[in-house]
């Protein structure tokens, strides 16, 4: 496939707009009694009407048989090979709470845990303490000073937190302090190369001070660190595609991923109607919009087929506000499937459609898994979506003479 460097050379600025609507976890599996998937079951006249004017297909965001997490699923939709651009766990955790990292920051995922009198781990998750207790402990640890860097300790959820070290000359090449099992002592962080030695010392200093401050705490009295990582060195969407790109997402994880790709983050309100309102307000200011709809994934994760059907219908009824703007290129797809039957993400390819004046529409007139299989794109990797979108927006020059 053609690489990002080639796309960068071919891309050009134009007045057309691209809207990428990501319906999280939209792909499904047939309901046993009806043989129909969530999409086939939903009443969704707007989505079906787009399909009848679009070129359709089924996308694999990571690869055949691979169940994508949210990060690789979205990176792939933004045009990045998710195998090559593997984002570290610490960065993802920071991104997931919408924290802005700067290049050179080292982020790590932390667990609050419990240790006995001899320092042996007795519960790696401290009984999944409440998020409120987590926030209280994070405030205690925020007082820690480490020489040579600035320390941030941010609560995530239950026993999970993020540690961010900011300073000059830091390196994420460190081993975890989490031995990943109870009955052992926490490990010291070790540098994987000489350039990370200074950072290893800082992490071990932080952990020693944390142990001191948490001594005598009732629910969690120690920390375990892993997934040390820094912002990946990825070319941004404005660099590759010369797009002024914006994200309209309600959940912090997706705003964070969009920021990694170089998008600006716009207000999103609290639901899809708030997102549509934001799209209308900022429509003239950007030429690429990523809109993220979460509820399909959440209801799929719940294993609630009917609720996922209703989420699709809720999205459908919000679409006229988007359609009224007549974006030159409109894409609707998902980052992965989340069949209610599996109560979780799955490997199944995701329905896709792209509508534009130049899309060469196929015969598909329904946005669903079996219908899209017969579409003009067939089954294809999601990293091809952005080049296709750019082409349909007439934003890509000819390749070669």
- By CB under 8 A, name the binding residues for a second copy: 1-3, 6, 10, 29-30, 62-73, 82-83, 86-87, 89, 92, 96, 339, 341-342, 344-348, 358, 360-363, 369-370, 373-374, 376-380, 384, 386-392, 396-401
CB closer to a second copy, 151 vs 361: 361
CB of 134 to a second copy, least distance (A): 19
CB closer to a second copy, 334 vs 361: 361
Residues 6+ apart with CB under 8 A from 299: 307, 308, 310, 311, 340
CB of 21 to a second copy, least distance (A): 19
CB of 157 to a second copy, least distance (A): 13
CB closer to a second copy, 87 vs 224: 87
CB of 376 to a second copy, least distance (A): 6
d(CA 351, CA 332): 8
Residues 6+ apart with CB under 8 A from 287: 13, 14, 15, 16, 17, 18, 243, 244, 245
In Å, how far from its chain's centre is CA 280? Answer: 24
CB closer to a second copy, 150 vs 302: 302
Q: Is 183 left (phi over 0), alpha (psi -120 to 50) or beta?
A: left
d(CA 222, CA 215): 8
CB closer to a second copy, 53 vs 211: 53
Q: Interhelix angle for 305-323 vs 272-282, to 10°?
A: 20
Cα-based angle 252, 95, 271 (whole degrees, multiple of 5): 10
CB of 322 to a second copy, least distance (A): 23
CB closer to a second copy, 30 vs 235: 30
CB closer to a second copy, 271 vs 384: 384
CB of 365 to a second copy, least distance (A): 13
As given in the structure block, the two tokens for residue 255 are: 């705003």
d(CA 344, CA 363): 31
**Token pair 């006229």 in the structure block, residue:** 320
d(CA 203, CA 188): 9
């Amino acid at each position: 496939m053609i690489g990002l460097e080639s796309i960068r050379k071919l891309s050009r600025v134009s007045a057309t707009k691209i809207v990428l609507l990501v319906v999280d976890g939209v792909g499904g599996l047939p309901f046993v009694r009806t043989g129909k998937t969530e999409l086939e079951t939903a009443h969704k006249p707007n989505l079906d009407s787009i399909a009848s004017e679009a070129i359709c297909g089924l996308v694999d965001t990571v690869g055949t048989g691979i169940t994508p997490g949210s990060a690789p699923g979205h990176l792939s939709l933004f045009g990045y090979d998710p195998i090559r651009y593997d984002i570290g766990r610490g960065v993802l955790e920071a991104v997931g709470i919408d924290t802005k990292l700067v290049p050179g920051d080292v982020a790590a995922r932390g667990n609050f845990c419990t240790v006995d009198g001899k320092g042996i781990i007795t519960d790696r998750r401290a009984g999944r303490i409440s998020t409120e207790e987590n926030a209280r402990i994070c405030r205690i640890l925020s007082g820690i000073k480490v020489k040579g860097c600035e320390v941030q300790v941010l609560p995530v959820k239950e026993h999970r937190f993020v540690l961010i070290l900011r300073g000059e000359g830091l390196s994420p090449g460190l081993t975890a302090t989490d031995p990943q099992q109870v009955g052992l002592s926490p490990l010291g962080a070790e540098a994987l190369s000489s350039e990370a030695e200074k950072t290893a010392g800082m992490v071990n200093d932080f952990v020693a001070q944390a142990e001191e401050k948490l001594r005598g705490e009732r629910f969690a009295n120690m920390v375990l660190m892993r997934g040390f990582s820094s912002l990946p060195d990825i070319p941004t969407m404005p660099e590759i595609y010369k797009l002024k790109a914006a994200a309209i997402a309600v959940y912090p994880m997706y705003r964070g991923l969009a920021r990694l790709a170089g998008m600006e983050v716009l207000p999103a309100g609290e639901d899809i109607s708030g997102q549509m309102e934001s799209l209308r307000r900022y429509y003239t200011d950007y030429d690429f919009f990523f809109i993220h709809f979460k509820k399909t994934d959440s209801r799929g994760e719940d294993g609630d087929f009917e609720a996922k059907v209703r989420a699709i219908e809720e999205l459908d009824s919000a679409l006229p506000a988007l359609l009224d703007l007549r974006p030159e290129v409109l894409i609707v797809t998902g980052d992965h499937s989340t069949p209610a039957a599996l109560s979780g993400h799955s490997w199944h390819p995701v329905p896709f459609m792209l509508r534009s004046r130049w899309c060469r529409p196929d015969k598909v007139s329904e946005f669903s898994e079996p219908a899209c299989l017969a579409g003009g794109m067939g089954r294809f990797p999601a990293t091809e979506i952005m080049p296709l979108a750019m082409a349909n927006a007439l934003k890509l020059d000819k390749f070669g003479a």
